[in-house]
Amino acid sequence: MTLASGQSAGPQVVTQYGRILGIYADQAAIFYGVPYAADPVGNLRWQAPQEVTPWGSEVLNATSPRPACPQYDCQRLSPPLVCPKEACLHLDIYTPRAATLNTSYPVMVYIHGGNFVHMASSSPLFDGRRLVTRDVIYVAINYRLGALGFLVTGETSSDAQGNYGILDQQMALRWVQKNIGSFGGDPNQVTLFGQSAGAQSSLLHLTLPSSAPLFQRIIIESSPLAIPYKRFPEAILLGALFAELVGCAPRDVPCLRSKSTQDIVYAQYLARSKVSSLKLLELFEPWGPFVDGQLIEAEPLPMIQAGRFSSKEIMIGTTSEETVLYIYSAWNASVGDVEYGEVVLATYPDHAVKIMYMYPPAYPRDERDTMVKLSTDLVFACSTRNATRNILKKMDSTYLYVWDHAFSFPGWGPIFFCEGRVCHGSEIVYLFQTQWQGNFTFTANEQVLSEQLQIYWTNFAKSGNPNQPTVQQLQWPKYSKDEDWPNLWFKTPSSAVDTDYHGPFCDFWDNVGYAA
């Protein structure tokens, strides 16, 4: 925590914890690194988040980005993060310049993605200064990642019991409820949204009764709904491997607490490549939430199928080639048809023949694009459709989309296999209009697409309807059988309304099931 000295022309607010100094940037007021919980260090490592201590009459300096939560090799990310410190339970708040104690702007709270091991609220990719020109307040939260956020060593009070990152997110949402009015926001108009692991987290909060009072609306961007969570035996196995790699006995939490942050993040990196699991899909997300039977009873998809979720207005969608970067990273050389069949058999042994019939080998020299089609449908598109149709059994305020536009600029870099592809996360730069952070420029069509995206998202935060109050030429219909299951198809040169996206393939997965 950094305290300011002297006077400043920047914005200041008073919260229940003390005064905060921010900066003006373009048309926004920004407050970086505002603590929402005590620093999870020392004996608070692997403990539920604790209340932050008020800083009294001093002024908290929130004028520059704060470090990310610990993660391995974060300088390789593009753009790089401020790396890393365990004292990372803070959030970044962006408000319109006109925000005061007397305003009541809708609030959009963002949970970043990154496979539960990467990224941060302070990433330039998630800079919200352009978004808040649409008359919303934007809050981006940090939460503990990797082993520090999700380690399980046992079930006793002296063990690490996992799911700390999810508890952090809840703590941040409670902080918003108590304090966002000081920034000119309305705590009764909170939209929770996130992408990838952030979308998983958001859907998880939809199924947690303890999270229900903390937000009113939800936007889900590319949640891998078919990826299974660990159960206790699997979480314990990962924890034991991690402890061995860091040089401790499996349940020696005092020893684990004695290790440096650098030792922790390196051991978590090594552990995720050593875990042996019969659930092949689980290998794509070794660290993350686990089913503890208390906070988390099951993954979001079966909870939604059982009707066990809170009633919220929902926008949900995926990109058209979600798994390109995962498939091409996992198999960095061509995959023949025999190896492709082996992967299908290992993933879905009971239905391998049916799956091979539905997704037959199509590329004699390299079946990775066949694997992309299959895994995008299974993990993202069709499991999302299944969740959406089950949500409709309880409520009808649901909007579905597909993002189908690839960057016109070399934004991915050489290591992601995504040039010219509509990869996982392709929509983010258009939503936040952060192309300038990488010195890139939108084409005229991309600028229109970006403006369209921002208006739909902020309309939804204001009204629960992406078409109001700012009316766009293209109306986004609710997802409904009566209208042939429409979705909004985001693309250039112009977006359109489509119907029954991937219908036969998703019908197939609905019949086969999403649990391997």
Active-site position among 121, 182, 196, 383: 196
Phi-psi group of 314: left, alpha or beta (phi > 0 → left; psi -120 to 50 → alpha; rest → beta): beta
pLDDT at 84: 74
pLDDT at 5: 47
Element (H, E) at 23: strand 23-25
Cα atoms in the Cβ-side hemisphere of radius 13 Å centred on 181: 7
Residues in the chain: 516
Element (H, E) at 459: helix 444-463
Q: What is the pTM of this model?
A: 0.94
The answer to whether the CB of 240 falls within 8 A of the CB of 250 is: yes
Whole-number Cα distances in Å, 237 to 144, 242, 243, 274, 408? 20, 9, 10, 11, 44
List phi, psi (to 5°) of 219.
Answer: -125, 125
Respond yes or no on whether the N-terminal peptide bond of residue 493 is cis (omega within 30° of 0). yes
Sole residue written with tokens 């890393």: 84
Q: Judging by beta carbons within 10 Å of its beta carbon (0-12, 13-18, 19+), is residue 420 exposed, middle or buried?
A: exposed
pLDDT at 123: 92
Element (H, E) at 221: strand 217-221
Q: If we measure between CA atoms, which residue out of 482, 306, 512, 487 comes closest to residue 385? A: 487
The answer to whether the CB of 331 falls within 8 A of the CB of 368 is: yes
Label the pairing between strands 18-21 and 105-111: unpaired
The answer to whether the CB of 96 falls within 8 A of the CB of 133 is: yes
pLDDT at 319: 98
Element (H, E) at 399: strand 398-403
State yes or no: is 342 an active-site residue: no
pLDDT at 202: 98
Q: Judging by beta carbons within 10 Å of its beta carbon (0-12, 13-18, 19+), is residue 311 exposed, middle or buried?
A: exposed
List phi, psi (to 5°) of 138.
Answer: -120, 130
State yes or no: is 424 an active-site residue: yes
pLDDT at 83: 62
H-assigned helices in 331-398:
337-347, 352-358, 368-375, 382-391
pLDDT at 290: 94
Active-site position among 90, 112, 205, 424: 424
Q: What is the pLDDT along the chain (516 residues), one digit of tens a residue?
A: 554 544 468 999 999 999 999 999 999 999 999 999 999 999 999 999 999 999 988 999 999 999 999 998 765 555 555 567 899 999 999 999 999 999 999 999 999 999 999 999 999 999 999 999 999 999 999 999 999 999 999 999 999 999 999 999 999 999 999 999 999 999 999 999 999 999 999 999 999 999 999 999 999 999 999 999 999 999 999 999 999 999 999 999 999 999 999 999 999 999 887 664 445 666 678 899 999 999 999 999 999 999 999 999 999 999 999 999 999 988 889 999 999 999 999 888 889 999 999 999 988 889 999 999 999 999 999 999 999 999 999 988 899 999 999 999 988 776 678 989 999 999 999 999 999 988 999 999 999 999 999 999 999 999 999 999 999 999 999 999 888 899 999 999 999 999 999 999 999 999 999 976
List residues bridging with 60 in a β-sheet.
Answer: 3, 20
Question: CA–CA separation, 465 vs 188, rounded Å?
Answer: 16
Q: Within a 10 A sphere around the Cβ of 444, how many other Cβ atoms?
A: 9
pLDDT at 415: 66
Per the structure block, which two tokens stand in for 102? Answer: 């007397």
Question: CA–CA separation, 104 vs 136, rounded Å?
Answer: 9
* Integer Rg of the chain from CA: 22
- The crossing angle, in degrees rounded to 10, of helices 232-246 and 261-274 is 130
Cβ partners under 8 Å of residue 451, min gap 6? none
Task: Determine the number of helices (DSSP H) and then strands (DSSP E) in the chain.
Answer: 15, 15
Whole-number Cα distances in Å, 366 to 12, 327, 374, 419? 58, 12, 14, 18
Per the structure block, which two tokens stand in for 148? Answer: 């520090």
State yes or no: is 196 an active-site residue: yes
Active-site position among 221, 282, 321, 322: 322
Q: Show the domains of the chain with their CATH numbers.
A: 12-512 (3.40.50.1820)
